[in-house]
């Protein structure tokens, strides 16, 4: 794929990321690189047991150590409220979900390994560590529950004994009576019990936070690695500190990955702010990797039973889902919404007659669970695509025909699903057919035979997915033409590796006629950017670029009007090209520097765009995966991968490919390698990279990727969003390939993730 040079192309061009040079040459500026003068350093003493009453001693001795400035336990921060849970959907009994208190520092009881007990500030990290080692914590152990499937057992240990059960909530949707009736008349019923394994969002940059306080103004500044400063500001200020959000500024420098987990408020944020106020100096906390493993929200971790009812022609009559989702020890910020919202995508791309879903969230003595790349949609796609694949096997139709027979047809669009989702556009059979062609399914039998000659079992898996992106909401952009003829965009999304500045510059360039190298994007500062909803749910380009489009068109029109007045022409006859305003068909022109100087007032050099979206976008596509399994060792290897996606209009193909590739690799990691393992007492056994297996380059095959786009109707650019799509399609595609290889080799038709060598070897040995 060729990149443009010079960087001057608009929408649709493969412009290389402008952000890369400083990041890959060590000149990036992450939160941990920021150290204001006089900075003090903080560490957190965390629980070593998963469930226990505790007492703390040795605080006076620890406070007396050289360089120690402050040690707080829960009673010292009574004015700081607990972490907020913003997702409180209505349950089946009509009541709203009621979260228990999630204290910033534990109050006499810890409920998972890593629960914070004390906050220490010192002149150096070493001095803070010495203080932590001097503090004694006496534990009175309590029974722990860590198994999601067993959390509701009558004899299960209770995370919150006063609640009488580990049931955090029960939600439901669909028509139970209609679903039961459809199952009663079904010619065939297929059932699967699935585990969607817990994973850790292992971004390259661990979280960090710096608190500052200005006594002259009474304002705080939080510098932190986030996915959106405005929501962090509002929650920390209003719900935790009880102050006007105007008194808190949140600054986010470069961010080294987020995957959803940096969207949330964490206890270290109010702690560094209050400590900075108390000590009259900046306070800095940087997570070590073992902090990250036990305190940052985990992802996935649910157990699902899914049933599919088919008629005599193998058409889908109904789907029934019973999902148990681990919430961890507390209800995290959006925790309850992830399984609830995600399961609404269970219908997938299929025309289904009836559906009923039950979702139960359960407490366990583990790190809380929240959004992780895809946030419920990969889980839903995994369930429906696994059961559809099994139905294809059991009916004898195979994976292609069973899907084609049940896809929503183009003439049915727009299509309202049984869970209320409104699919606007798409050609689902089209991308399936193209993926089959591109992946050369006709040649698969020969490839399988070649693998067999080497003693390997080759499997083919596919998944046709749809996901909800760019959830209803708004984004705004402010665009300014500067005196030097460059432009500056102020926007409230927050890049954490996607390349937003490049993509937004392409949208601006298409209207203002500037080279993208002359367009700066300002984000990550709540004082400089008025509002914003941050980055998550693949929203930044569908909503963010739409607001940039509005602002760009308005600024372009204002520039044309200024130029028209000076050039004695109609604004309709002015074109903006190569940094100049020119009368079409003539040599009469003025540079944008001259336009800026000629503006009657500075307001004419600024434009505001706000875009409000009422419905989600729905990217969709087909993934085809081939794996080889060595039956002697259980090792599964991805040996072929093909994707045909519909993302609507593409702003930048090379950035798009990068997002898709990254998402696929993350799901390959979950499917084959990654596993968050607790022992029976709640100790995290995979708390370092020595034990938690991450995917590497040699775990993947080259990815053949192309788009077959149908523009979205939810925004004027036709964009559907792509940041999470790779994870959604890859989970079921990889596991369907694994199961196909096992079925062909020894008759196994189900295995759970992760399909590690040990798990596959044991399954093969037992077959």
Q: Which residues contact 311 (CB under 8 A, 6 or more apart)?
A: 185, 186, 187, 317
Joined tokens for residue 417: 């699903």
What is the DSSP-derived secondary structure letter of residue 88? -
Q: How far is CA 411 from CA 407, 408, 414, 415, in A?
A: 11, 8, 8, 9
Confidence of residue 303 (pLDDT cuts 50, 70, 90): very high
Could you give the CA distance from residue 114 to residue 125 in angstroms, rounded to a whole number?
Answer: 19
| Cα angle: 535, vertex 539, 543; to 5 degrees | 115
| pLDDT tens digits, 444-475 | 999 999 999 999 999 999 999 999 999 999 99
Mean pLDDT within 314-323? 98
| Cα angle: 91, vertex 97, 100; to 5 degrees | 155
- pLDDT given at position 3: 33
φ, ψ of residue 522 in degrees (nearest 5): -110, 125
The DSSP string of 457-476 is EEEEEEEEEE--BS-SEEEE
Q: How many CB atoms lie within 10 A of CB 752?
A: 14
Could you give the CA distance from residue 212 to residue 284 in angstroms, rounded to a whole number?
Answer: 9
Q: How many CB atoms lie within 10 A of CB 346?
A: 28
In three-state secondary structure terms, 681 is coil
User: Half-sphere exposure of 450 toward its Cβ, with a 13 Å CA cutoff?
Assistant: 7
Mean pLDDT within 492-518? 93
What is the DSSP-derived secondary structure letter of residue 17? P
Could you give the CA distance from residue 241 to residue 243 in angstroms, rounded to a whole number?
Answer: 6
Sign of the CA dihedral 387, 375, 176, 349?
A: negative
Which of the four CATH numbers 3.30.365.10, 3.40.50.11310, 3.40.50.300, 3.90.1150.10 does domain 302-470+616-766 have?
3.30.365.10
The DSSP string of 123-156 is SSHHHHHHHHHH-EEEEEE------TTTTTSTTP
Structure-token match 């559906």, residue found: 355
φ/ψ region of 312 (left if φ > 0, alpha if ψ in -120 to 50, else beta) reads alpha
Tell me whether the omega of the peptide bond preceding residue 754 falls within 30 degrees of 0, making it cis.
yes
| pLDDT tens digits, 403-429 | 999 999 999 999 999 999 999 999 999
Longest dimension (CA), the chain: 85
Q: How far is CA 556 from CA 205, 488, 595, in A?
A: 38, 14, 11
The DSSP string of 616-651 is -B--EEEEEEEEEE-TTT--EEEEEEEEEEE-BS-S
Please state the length of the chain.
Answer: 767
Which of 500, 88, 633, 4 lies closest to 333, judged by CA? 88
| pLDDT tens digits, 180-212 | 999 999 999 999 999 999 999 999 999 999 999
Is-same-fold flag (20-29+473-613; 34-142+202-295)?
no
| Cα angle: 506, vertex 508, 512; to 5 degrees | 125
pLDDT tops 50 at residue 13: yes
Mean pLDDT within 571-596? 95
- pLDDT given at position 4: 31
- pLDDT given at position 82: 98
The mean pLDDT of the chain is: 96
Confidence of residue 2 (pLDDT cuts 50, 70, 90): very low
Mean pLDDT within 567-596? 95
Which of 108, 107, 116 lies closest to 47, judged by CA? 116
| Sheet strand arrangement including 473-481 | 519-522, 487-491, 473-481, 606-613
Beta bridge partners of 359: 171, 323
In three-state secondary structure terms, 510 is helix
Could you give the CA distance from residue 156 to residue 703 in angstroms, rounded to a whole number?
Answer: 45
- pLDDT given at position 339: 96
In three-state secondary structure terms, 11 is coil
Joined tokens for residue 178: 């209609």
Joined tokens for residue 416: 């309202």
CATH number of 34-142+202-295: 3.90.1170.50
φ, ψ of residue 11 in degrees (nearest 5): -60, 135
If residue 362 lies in a helix (H) or strand (E), which one and from where to where? strand 354-363
Of 9-13, 643-647, 743-747, the poorest mean pLDDT is in 9-13
Could you give the CA distance from residue 459 to residue 738 in angstroms, rounded to a whole number?
Answer: 6
If residue 217 lies in a helix (H) or strand (E), which one and from where to where? none
- Report CA dihedral (766, 199, 343, 728) to the nearest 10 degrees: -90
Joined tokens for residue 494: 């927050």
- pLDDT given at position 5: 34
- pLDDT given at position 9: 62
Could you give the CA distance from residue 366 to residue 682 in angstroms, rounded to a whole number?
Answer: 7
- pLDDT given at position 321: 98
Q: Are 453 and 628 in contact (CB under 8 A)?
A: no
As to burial, measured by CB atoms within 10 angstroms (0-12 exposed, 13-18 middle, 19+ buried), residue 679 is exposed
Structure-token match 């607790």, residue found: 678
Which of 293, 333, 265, 269 lies closest to 202, judged by CA? 293
pLDDT tops 80 at residue 8: no
Could you give the CA distance from residue 719 to residue 192 in angstroms, rounded to a whole number?
Answer: 35
Domain ranges of the chain: 20-29+473-613, 34-142+202-295, 302-470+616-766
Confidence of residue 18 (pLDDT cuts 50, 70, 90): confident
Could you give the CA distance from residue 367 to residue 560 in angstroms, rounded to a whole number?
Answer: 56
In three-state secondary structure terms, 265 is coil
- pLDDT given at position 11: 87
In three-state secondary structure terms, 678 is strand
pLDDT above 90: percentage of residues in the chain: 96
pLDDT tops 50 at residue 7: no
**Number of helical H runs and strand E runs in the chain:** 18, 28
Could you give the CA distance from residue 722 to residue 500 in angstroms, rounded to a whole number?
Answer: 12
- pLDDT given at position 10: 77
- pLDDT given at position 398: 97
Could you give the CA distance from residue 236 to residue 243 in angstroms, rounded to a whole number?
Answer: 9
CA end-to-end distance (rounded Å), the chain: 46
Describe the crossing of helices 377-395 and 725-746 by its angle, rounded to 10 degrees.
30
Domain spanning 20-29+473-613: CATH 3.30.930.10: no
Q: How many CB atoms lie within 10 A of CB 420?
A: 9
pLDDT tops 70 at residue 232: yes
pLDDT tops 50 at residue 31: yes
């Amino acid at each position: 794929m060729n990149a443009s040079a010079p960087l001057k192309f608009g929408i649709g061009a493969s412009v290389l990321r402008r952000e890369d040079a400083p990041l890959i040459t060590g000149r990036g500026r992450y939160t941990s690189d920021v150290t204001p003068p006089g900075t003090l350093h903080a560490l957190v003493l965390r629980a070593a047991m998963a469930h226990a009453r505790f007492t703390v001693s040795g605080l006076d001795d620890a406070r007396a150590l050289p360089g120690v400035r402050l040690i707080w336990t829960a009673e010292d921060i009574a004015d700081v409220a607990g972490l907020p849970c913003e997702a409180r959907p209505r349950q089946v009994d009509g009541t709203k979900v009621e979260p228990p208190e999630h204290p910033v520092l534990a109050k006499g009881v810890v409920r998972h390994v890593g629960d914070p007990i004390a906050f220490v500030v010192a002149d150096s990290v070493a001095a803070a560590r010495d203080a932590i080692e001097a503090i004694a914590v006496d534990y009175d152990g309590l029974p722990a529950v860590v198994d999601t499937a067993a959390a509701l057992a009558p004899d299960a240990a209770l995370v919150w004994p006063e609640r009488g059960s580990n049931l955090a909530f029960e939600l439901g949707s669909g028509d139970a009576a209609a679903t039961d009736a459809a199952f009663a008349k079904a010619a065939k019923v297929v059932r699967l019990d699935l585990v969607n394994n817990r994973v850790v969002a292992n971004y390259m940059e661990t979280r960090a936070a710096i608190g500052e306080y200005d006594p002259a103004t009474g304002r705080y500044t939080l510098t932190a690695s986030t996915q959106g400063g405005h929501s962090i500001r509002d929650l920390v200020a209003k719900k935790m500190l009880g102050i006007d959000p105007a008194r808190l500024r949140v600054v986010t420098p470069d961010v080294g990955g987020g995957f959803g987990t940096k969207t949330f408020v964490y206890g270290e944020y109010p702690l560094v702010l209050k400590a900075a106020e108390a000590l009259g100096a900046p306070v800095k906390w940087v997570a070590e990797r073992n902090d990250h493993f036990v305190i940052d929200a985990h992802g996935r971790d649910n157990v699902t039973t899914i049933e599919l009812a088919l008629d005599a022609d193998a058409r889908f009559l109904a789907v029934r889902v019973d999902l148990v989702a681990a919430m961890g020890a507390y209800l995290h910020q959006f925790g309850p919404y992830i399984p609830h919202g995600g399961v609404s995508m269970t219908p997938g791309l299929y025309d289904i007659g009836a559906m009923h879903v039950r979702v139960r969230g359960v407490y366990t003595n583990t790190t809380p669970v929240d959004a992780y790349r895809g946030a419920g949609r990969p889980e839903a796609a995994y369930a429906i695509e696994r059961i559809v694949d099994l139905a294809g096997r059991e009916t004898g139709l195979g994976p292609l025909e069973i899907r084609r027979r049940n896809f929503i047809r183009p003439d049915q669009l727009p299509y309202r699903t049984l869970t209320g989702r409104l699919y606007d556009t798409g050609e689902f059979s089209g991308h399936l057919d193209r993926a089959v062609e591109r992946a050369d399914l006709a040649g698969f039998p020969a490839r399988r035979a070649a693998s067999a000659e080497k003693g390997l079992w080759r499997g083919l898996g596919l998944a046709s997915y749809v996901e909800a992106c760019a959830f209803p909401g708004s984004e705004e952009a402010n665009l300014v033409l500067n005196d030097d003829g460059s432009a500056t965009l102020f926007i409230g999304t927050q890049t954490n590796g996607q390349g937003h500045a490049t993509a937004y510059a392409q949208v601006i360039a298409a209207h203002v006629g500037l080279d993208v190298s002359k367009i700066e994007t300002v984000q990550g500062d709540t004082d400089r950017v008025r509002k914003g909803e941050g980055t998550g749910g693949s929203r930044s380009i569908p909503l963010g670029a739409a607001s940039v489009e509005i602002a760009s068109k308005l600024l372009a029109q204002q520039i044309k009007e200024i130029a028209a007045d000076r050039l004695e022409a109609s604004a309709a006859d002015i074109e903006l090209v190569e940094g100049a305003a020119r009368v079409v068909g003539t040599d009469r022109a003025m540079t944008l520097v001259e336009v800026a100087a000629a503006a009657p007032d500075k307001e004419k050099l600024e434009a505001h765009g706000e875009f409000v979206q009422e419905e989600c976008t729905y990217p969709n596509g087909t993934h085809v995966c081939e794996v080889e399994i060595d039956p002697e060792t259980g090792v599964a290897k991805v040996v072929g991968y093909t994707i045909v996606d519909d993302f609507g209009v593409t702003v930048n193909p090379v950035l798009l490919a990068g997002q898709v590739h990254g998402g696929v690799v993350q799901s390959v990691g979950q499917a084959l390698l990654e596993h968050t393992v607790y022992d029976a007492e709640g100790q995290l056994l995979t708390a370092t990279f020595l034990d938690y297996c991450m995917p590497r380059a040699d775990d993947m095959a080259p990815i053949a990727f192309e788009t077959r786009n149908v523009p979205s109707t939810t925004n004027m650019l036709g964009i559907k969003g792509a940041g999470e799509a790779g994870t959604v399609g890859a989970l079921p595609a990889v596991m369907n390939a694994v199961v196909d290889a096992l079925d062909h080799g020894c008759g196994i038709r189900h295995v759970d993730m992760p399909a590690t060598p040990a798990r596959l070897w044991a399954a093969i040995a037992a077959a």
